Chains A and B, each alone.
Chain A
Amino acid sequence: MSSEPMQAKTDVLVIGAGGAGMYAAIEAARAGCRVLLIDRSLIGRGGATVMAQMTVAVALGAEEPDHWSHHFDDTVRAGRGLCDKVLARLLCEEGPECIGEMDAWGVGWARKDGRIAQITAPGHDRARCAYVDFINTGPAVSKTLRSVINRTGVIRKAGDLCVVDLIVVDGEVAGALALQLSSGAPVVIAAKATILATGGLTRLYQRNSASANMGGDGYALALRAGAELIDMEFVQFFPIGHLAPRLIGMDPIMWDPFRYKLGGRLLNGAMQEFTSRYGSDESGRYILTRDLATYAIMKEVEAGRGSPHGGAYLSFQHCSKHELQAAFGPVVDRLAANNIDLTKTAVEVAPIAHYHMGGVRVDAQMQTRVPGLFAAGEVVGGANGANRLSGNAITEALVFGRRAGRTAAARAGVMRSQPLGSEGRQPTLALIDGDSSGREACNAGELMQNMQRVMWNDVGPFRTKEKLSRALATFNDMTRQLGELPPNGRHAFDLPRLDWLDLRNMQLVARAVAQAALQRTESRGAHQREDFPALSAEWEINQLAYLSGDALHVLSSPLVTSEVTR
């Protein structure tokens, strides 16, 4: 064990520098707080926001008359009865303000005749989705928020800081213990309020559209600090992730906006339309929601009618070269660099893990059940119920981030800073820089691949009791194989140690997903049980996960049913 760890102190600590974390930091700073924004990766680069290429759903009424209550109705309908209506309302009602503020900050929403352009994405009753051309929504949002943060001049930022555990003092979160990746040293951060903005868990799956830091660490941090998770069984699979040919320099979910614009056709291995066999005839339009499209493609593959790499074809061959050029812009050249000419060939697509509807349970102020701990963005559960509506993720990041920043600042404003005791901290410090040399190291990289394979095969789009039980047994085994301490001693960019710390979180989160999925004996939205194929009215309830000691519990709980007045 080394000497005293480095210390940092702040009013508001924001963990995760994606859209939600950056907006939260800005809002808390506006309220006059000292803010420390940290990320395990680099600031404003590593989260999911920067990868979002699609659209932002918001009832601006720029394209046609709209009202947040229409957006709310669509959100709740997509959520298949499980949305936390308080959170869904917040998302829809405050979305226009945040999108307006982003506009004022110069994000560059695509415009038509001077007003913000909006298109109709699947599941929306009208043109409601704003975007930044060309497939540049996420990078523009990230860049804008980074600029605003830099302009404020008062927000401290620190990348390469991976939080290993939250510090809990007398039942309240009082900061975090982190591993500084660039040195391998531990850092103790004291904070009056802490906001988790760590994103989702899609890295748990073999096929995903995630960045490497979407391993669900926020869920594990929240659980170990005493917070509850809600609806962990609902993982959204994005139906038309890029599968083949190998395409580099592009996000695998890139095809969706082009389907909106051009109505790309989904075809099976025999180049025939097939979605009508699964209850939806698209006839060239793009109206299939994500859960139905995933189902249709996977069933077609199962029946032996898939494309060569095990997916479906997506074809734009009905479009003229001119139409393609207008819709794809400079992306045409990037495709050409990958030897893809859409006028001549169809690409192959298949479902990939994309987003997590479940997550940390919070109230309308983004407060968890643990005082001092707040959450924002994808790490929050409940707003999207059993299936997220297209375009709601960025809106949620901005709205929930702003709200969390405001609430955390209010807490910090009334709290006296308290001395941070050091009791109970040793076990986490040992994980960060304890010396475990002489112990046989597990191959964390291999264990991780194994976990991703099991999650994909057994906790993926189609589930059964048998598969889920098998997965849980594997995860329990894996927890034993991991052992008590990570490999190696302290050094810079120690990836085996980081992999181990990630797996410590991932096995816990994977168990929460599998356990909740095993208990939910029905099919609803993104949770499809082949042994319980029908939706059951009895299951119009949430499930809550929490830790009691080392034991993970998943219990059912009545819906959050607050009435929503319009």
Chain B
Amino acid sequence: MTDVAQLKIWRGAHRETGRFETYEVPFEPGQSVLDGLRWLRVHRDPTLAIRFSCINANACKECVIELDGKAVYACTARLEAREMTLTPLTNKPLVRDLVTEIAPPSERSSG
């Protein structure tokens, strides 16, 4: 019962010089986009930058990214057997790849 999602992921450390890379991710129905990203880090590219803590509970609220241009939590958005475009939040400072500065300025270690 394995399907395949094409994850088209924005990569880079600067908005101007970033690029998209597309990966195929096998999944079972019900799995989350975060499951797919974690699979990619182990099996394809350990350098893919993503932010998450609680993995599954949707308690930490750290894994917020954009899916097809809409802000979602990667842990609750589901993988689908189609091309899914993943980009960092556009309204937050970029750190790298899918990671942005989502903490309020008073809780950041920089700036």
Known contacts A252-B56, A493-B99: does B30 contact A161 (CB below 8 Å)? no
Shortest Cβ distance from residue B103 to the other chain A in the assembled complex, whole angstroms: 5
Shortest Cβ distance from residue B58 to the other chain A in the assembled complex, whole angstroms: 4
- Tell which of B42, B47, B55, B109 touches A212, judged by Cβ atoms closer than 8 Å: B55
Residues of B within 8 A of A250 (CB): 56-58
B49, B96, B110 pick with most chain A CB within 10 angstroms: B110
Known contacts A50-B59, A212-B55: does B46 contact A245 (CB below 8 Å)? no
Shortest Cβ distance from residue A129 to the other chain B in the assembled complex, whole angstroms: 20
A341 located at the interface, meaning its Cβ lies under 8 Å from any Cβ of chain B in the complex: no
Residues of B within 8 A of A443 (CB): 46
Known contacts A248-B76, A250-B58, A495-B41: does B108 contact A41 (CB below 8 Å)? no
Smallest Cβ-Cβ distance to A157: which chain B residue: B107
Shortest Cβ distance from residue A255 to the other chain B in the assembled complex, whole angstroms: 13
Please classify how large the interface on chain B is, using the bins under 10, 10 to 19, 20 to 34, 35 or more: 35 or more
Residues of A within 8 A of B61 (CB): 45
- Tell which of B47, B75, B97, B107 touches A248, judged by Cβ atoms closer than 8 Å: B75
The reply to whether B109 and A493 contact each other, CB–CB distance below 8 Å, is: no
- Tell which of A42, A248, A249 touches B62, judged by Cβ atoms closer than 8 Å: A42
The secondary structure that dominates the A interface is loop
The reply to whether B54 and A495 contact each other, CB–CB distance below 8 Å, is: no
* Complex Cα–Cα for A503 and B52 (A): 18
B31, B42, B53, B62 pick with most chain A CB within 10 angstroms: B53
A449 located at the interface, meaning its Cβ lies under 8 Å from any Cβ of chain B in the complex: yes
* Complex Cα–Cα for A41 and B55 (A): 13
B17-33, CB under 8 A of A: which get 1 and which 0?
00000000000111110
Smallest Cβ-Cβ distance to A36: which chain B residue: B109
* Complex Cα–Cα for A180 and B110 (A): 8
B2 located at the interface, meaning its Cβ lies under 8 Å from any Cβ of chain A in the complex: no
Known contacts A492-B95, A496-B47: does B106 contact A157 (CB below 8 Å)? yes
A159 located at the interface, meaning its Cβ lies under 8 Å from any Cβ of chain B in the complex: yes
B79-103, CB under 8 A of A: which get 1 and which 0?
0000000000000000111010111
B52, B57, B96, B103 pick with most chain A CB within 10 angstroms: B57
* Complex Cα–Cα for A505 and B29 (A): 35
The reply to whether A159 and B107 contact each other, CB–CB distance below 8 Å, is: yes
* Complex Cα–Cα for A213 and B48 (A): 18
A158 located at the interface, meaning its Cβ lies under 8 Å from any Cβ of chain B in the complex: yes
The reply to whether B13 and A491 contact each other, CB–CB distance below 8 Å, is: yes
Please classify how large the interface on chain A is, using the bins under 10, 10 to 19, 20 to 34, 35 or more: 35 or more
A172 located at the interface, meaning its Cβ lies under 8 Å from any Cβ of chain B in the complex: no
* Complex Cα–Cα for A45 and B57 (A): 12
Residues of A within 8 A of B32 (CB): 248
- Tell which of A161, A187, A212, A491 touches B96, judged by Cβ atoms closer than 8 Å: A491
The reply to whether B46 and A495 contact each other, CB–CB distance below 8 Å, is: yes
Residues of A within 8 A of B96 (CB): 491-493
Residues of A within 8 A of B47 (CB): 488, 494-496
A window 458-502: CB within 8 A of B: 488, 491-496, 499
Shortest Cβ distance from residue B84 to the other chain A in the assembled complex, whole angstroms: 15
The reply to whether B76 and A249 contact each other, CB–CB distance below 8 Å, is: yes
B78 located at the interface, meaning its Cβ lies under 8 Å from any Cβ of chain A in the complex: yes
The reply to whether B46 and A445 contact each other, CB–CB distance below 8 Å, is: yes
The reply to whether B60 and A50 contact each other, CB–CB distance below 8 Å, is: yes
Residues of A within 8 A of B102 (CB): 42
A446 located at the interface, meaning its Cβ lies under 8 Å from any Cβ of chain B in the complex: yes
Shortest Cβ distance from residue A362 to the other chain B in the assembled complex, whole angstroms: 26
Smallest Cβ-Cβ distance to A185: which chain B residue: B110
A window 117-142: CB within 8 A of B: 138-139
Smallest Cβ-Cβ distance to B73: which chain A residue: A249
* Complex Cα–Cα for A203 and B49 (A): 19
Residues of B within 8 A of A46 (CB): 53-54, 60, 62
A147 located at the interface, meaning its Cβ lies under 8 Å from any Cβ of chain B in the complex: no
The reply to whether A182 and B109 contact each other, CB–CB distance below 8 Å, is: yes
The reply to whether B46 and A182 contact each other, CB–CB distance below 8 Å, is: no
- Tell which of B42, B57, B75 touches A449, judged by Cβ atoms closer than 8 Å: B42
Residues of B within 8 A of A488 (CB): 47
A320 located at the interface, meaning its Cβ lies under 8 Å from any Cβ of chain B in the complex: no
Shortest Cβ distance from residue A170 to the other chain B in the assembled complex, whole angstroms: 28
A window 150-165: CB within 8 A of B: 150, 157-161
Residues of B within 8 A of A138 (CB): 59
The reply to whether B108 and A159 contact each other, CB–CB distance below 8 Å, is: yes
Residues of A within 8 A of B42 (CB): 445-446, 449
The reply to whether A248 and B108 contact each other, CB–CB distance below 8 Å, is: no
A251 located at the interface, meaning its Cβ lies under 8 Å from any Cβ of chain B in the complex: yes
* Complex Cα–Cα for A43 and B106 (A): 10
A interface residues (Cβ-Cβ under 8 A, vs B): 38, 41-43, 45-46, 50-51, 138-139, 150, 157-161, 180, 182-183, 187, 210-213, 245-252, 338-339, 443-446, 449, 488, 491-496, 499
3 nearest A-B residue pairs (beta carbon):
A246-B30, A158-B109, A46-B53
Given A251-B57, A252-B56, 6 more contacts at CB 8 Å? A160-B103, A180-B109, A182-B110, A187-B109, A245-B30, A249-B58
B interface residues (Cβ-Cβ under 8 A, vs A): 13, 28-32, 41-42, 46-62, 73, 75-76, 78, 95-97, 99, 101-103, 106-110
